[in-house]
Structure 1
Amino acid sequence: MNTWQQVDKIDVHGQPVFVMARPDGRQIWVNFAYPNNDTLQVIDAESRSLFKTLKPGKGVLHMEFTSRGEHVWASVRDLNLVNIYDTETLDLINQFEATSPSGIFFTSRAHRLGL
């Protein structure tokens, strides 16, 4: 990072919107702009290779990791769902309904910004 020179290229599903590192830095989770917004991709950070593609449904938008990174919560706007994935197995371990869940995690981050 001292030079900010590109060191690799990873082909992904479409135009990324949010790219988030798991708190331990081992994975990079990516969601995509319309019309590819039904997909999440997980990249192995060490090998810099695509590890898994998930298809939660249209409108996958915001993600939030639990504090230790063992789970990631992802909003699926067009299905009014929040999906919870185990970040080791990448299995869907739970989901719940939420009306218009786009932006659902932003309030938890507001204190970090001093709002």
Structure 2
Amino acid sequence: MAKDGQPVRLYVNGAILGYKRGLRTQNNSISLIKIKGVDSKADTDFYLGKKVAFITKASEKNGTKYRVNWGKVCRAHGSNGVVRCRFSRDLPPQSIGGRVRVMLYPSRV
């Protein structure tokens, strides 16, 4: 909790653009994520190694109705602030255009 009583947000929003792909093939095990507020390759350096959470709703199990697929930021993709992420389970095609949370941990500072 912050000094004024408000909770602290430990993540940055991101959007799933799709999979890493070439002209004729795509690699479903690497997803492309656009992080909000990151607009250059130099800005992506801070997020390397950070955890990424893709959250979905499902039927209740273990006392919660949410499922989380965890991933990690691997490297930059291009020069406009897009990053490549590997998830513990590959993201489904329905996730394209969806939201993820890019956690601000683990810290490399």
TM-score band, normalised by shorter chain = under 0.3
- With structure 1 as the length reference, what TM-score do the two structures score? 0.25
**Larger relative contact order (C-alpha < 8 A, sep ≥ 6)?**
2
- With structure 2 as the length reference, what TM-score do the two structures score? 0.26
Name the one with the larger strand percent. 2
